[in-house]
Each structure stands twice: as C-alpha cells, then as structure tokens.
C-alpha cells in the first residue's frame, strides 16, 4: 500500500502553487489522476518515483519509508521498485526492441520475464527491429514492456496513450489492464480521456491547482448527480460554429461525430479539445433499431 502526505512548492506561470498530496493507494489498485493542465499530476508521479524531492511530509510504501521530511529519509529513485511510461516512448534509438528490454533489466538477467513481456505485448515479430521501424502504438507497447522488465510493484503512466489514434488506444488499454493484473501491479495513470478512465481505473483522484478536489469511482466522479437518470454521454469537442444566433457544437463520441445546438451562454466556457458531458433533461432521446449486423 502507498501512503503519502507530502507538500511541494511549484512554480506555475501564474506564480507559486503548493502541491499537497494526501493519498492512499491500495495494493493492486488502478487509480487515475485527473485534472486541468498545470494541476500537478506529472509532479505527483515524479514525487512518488523520487525524480522530484518533496519539501515536507511522508511517503510510505508497504510500511517502508521512501521519504520522510522529519527523519531526512530520501530513497534513491533506482531503489524504488517503480516502472514509468511517458507519452513519448523514450526507447534507446540505437538498440533493437529486445536489446532495449535487456538493457533495462541490467545485471539481474531474466530471459523468461523478457520473453513473457514480449508475448503479452505482441512484439514477437518486431523484437529485432529498431524503434524507428515501429509505429507509435508498437513503440508504446515496447515502452510498457520495458517498464516492467525489472518486475516493479508500482507502474506510473503519464498520458501514455495520448499520442495514439483511437483504435490503437483501445488496443493498448487492453494490454495495460492485462499487464496490471498479470504482474499484480499498483498502477497510477494520468489521463484526460474519460472513456479510458472508466475502462481502466478502480478510482479517480481529481486535482486542481495542486490540491486534491475529489476521489471516487469513475462513474460517481463523472456522472453529475443533478442529472442522474437522464440521458447523458461524454465526448470531445471538435469544433464550435456560430450560425446566426445559435452555435453548432461538433462532439466526438467514440467514433461518431454528434452535432449539438447550443446557446451563447453554453459555449462561453468551452473550446475545441475540451472533454464535455452532454445531457438531455427535457425530452426523450429517440431510439431506432439498426439493421441486424448478422443478416447484412
């Protein structure tokens, strides 16, 4: 179990903010940190992994102190059993995929683990290639495998799928969940994608300006209670067009583009790229049967 209660002063564009993380993560849990840009999500992962030193507080993992401000304890990053995956792969460009994994394993060679990871991430046919000869999704699968070769207890994922297209993301999400379970990991993900968060995480922790503003099951955090029981979905805004006195908002929901009419006051706080919740309160949504795919 991870217990942390730490503070770190950060320098934001608008001045100093204090990141305060008071958090417990159970062994085997998959949690997601969610919040606006600059909230402190990446810093939270860096503080836990030892890449950034807290100003004060305590980090304890399975009863062992990794950091204590009072006792002046700071466990070196390489001694924390953590795997880290970033958005940008960070593979060694001059080593093949297999050599990347072997290099990351260091002196404690374990070909069995490497073999299993290559199989689980479906890299058998690609293991002798250089990273530049792989697609983005394949590189990220290799980065995931590499993060796990030392059999860490904790996996930290900083928006690992955000550079990939949506079908590749879905596939990688399945790999992530499989690896989380197979290696009995405790996983902390940073993600902006509400669908992905629903699919993967047991718990969401929301952060804003360095402060934890909420935590709970994805459904409880993202479904708005005042609208509960009504028709609602989440999506990403692609475009907002003004047409005379109204606005047409194009929203990507899964693979479909949905157009919603909005009034001026509704579009004031939203822009292309935002994740939004669309809900209908006053009318019943239409339901139409689609052709039976078995018979077409």
Ligand X SMILES: Nc1ncnc2c1ncn2[C@@H]1O[C@H](COP(=O)(O)OP(=O)(O)OP(=O)(O)O)[C@@H](O)[C@H]1O
Q: Which residues contact ligand X by CB under 6 A?
A: 10-13, 35, 37-43, 52
Tell me how far, at minimum, the Cβ of 42 lies from ligand X, in Å: 3
87 or 105: CB nearest ligand X: 87
Tell me how far, at minimum, the Cβ of 184 lies from ligand X, in Å: 27
Strands laid side by side in the 64-68 sheet: 73-74, 64-68, 56-61, 2-12, 15-25, 211-216, 203-208, 30-34, 186-190, 154-158, 82-85
43 or 138: CB nearest ligand X: 43
Tokens 């077409």 belong to residue: 296
Residue by residue, DSSP assigns 37-66 as: TTSSHHHHHHHHHTSS--SEEEEEETTEEE
3-class DSSP state of 289: coil
147 or 207: CB nearest ligand X: 207
Tell me how far, at minimum, the Cβ of 109 lies from ligand X, in Å: 35
97 or 221: CB nearest ligand X: 221
3-class DSSP state of 138: helix
CA–CA separation, 162 and 157 (whole Å)? 11
Instruction: State the angle between helix axes of 111-120 and 166-182 in degrees (0 to 180), rounded to the nearest 10.
Output: 140
164 or 249: CB nearest ligand X: 164
35 or 195: CB nearest ligand X: 35
Tell me how far, at minimum, the Cβ of 159 lies from ligand X, in Å: 7
Where is 211: in which H helix or E strand?
strand 211-216
Tell me how far, at minimum, the Cβ of 128 lies from ligand X, in Å: 34
Tell me how far, at minimum, the Cβ of 35 lies from ligand X, in Å: 6
CA–CA separation, 9 and 264 (whole Å)? 38
55 or 133: CB nearest ligand X: 55
CA–CA separation, 134 and 143 (whole Å)? 12
Tell me how far, at minimum, the Cβ of 199 lies from ligand X, in Å: 20
Q: What share of the chain is helix, strand, coil (3-state, %, to 5)?
A: 30, 35, 35
């Amino acid at each position: 179990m991870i217990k942390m209660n730490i503070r770190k002063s950060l320098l934001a564009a608008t001045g100093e903010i204090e990141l305060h993380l008071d958090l417990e993560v159970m062994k085997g849990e998959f949690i997601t940190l969610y919040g606006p840009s600059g909230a402190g999500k990446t810093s939270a992962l860096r503080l836990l992994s030892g890449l950034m030193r807290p100003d004060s507080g305590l980090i304890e993992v399975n009863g062992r102190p990794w950091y204590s401000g009072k006792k002046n304890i700071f466990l070196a990053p390489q001694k924390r059993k953590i795997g880290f995956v970033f958005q940008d792969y960070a593979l060694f460009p001059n080593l093949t995929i297999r050599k990347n994994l072997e290099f990351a394993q260091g002196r404690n060679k374990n070909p069995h683990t490497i073999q299993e990871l290559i199989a689980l991430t479906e890299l058998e046919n690609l293991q002798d290639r250089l990273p530049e000869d792989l697609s983005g999704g394949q590189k990220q699968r290799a980065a995931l495998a590499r993060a796990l070769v030392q059999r860490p207890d904790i996996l930290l994922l900083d928006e690992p799928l955000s550079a990939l297209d949506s079908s590749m993301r879905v596939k990688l999400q399945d790999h992530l969940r499989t690896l989380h379970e197979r290696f009995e990991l405790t996983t902390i993900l940073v993600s902006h994608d509400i669908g992905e968060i629903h699919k993967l995480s047991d718990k969401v922790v929301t952060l804003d300006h360095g402060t934890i503003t909420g935590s709970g099951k994805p459904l409880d955090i993202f479904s708005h209670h005042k609208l509960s029981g009504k028709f609602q979905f989440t999506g990403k805004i692609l475009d907002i067009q003004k047409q005379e006195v109204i606005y047409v908002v194009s929203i990507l929901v899964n693979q479909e583009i949905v157009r919603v009419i909005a009034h001026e006051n509704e579009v004031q706080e939203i822009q292309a790229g935002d994740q939004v919740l669309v809900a209908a309160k006053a009318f019943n949504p239409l339901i139409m049967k689609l052709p039976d795919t078995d018979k077409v």
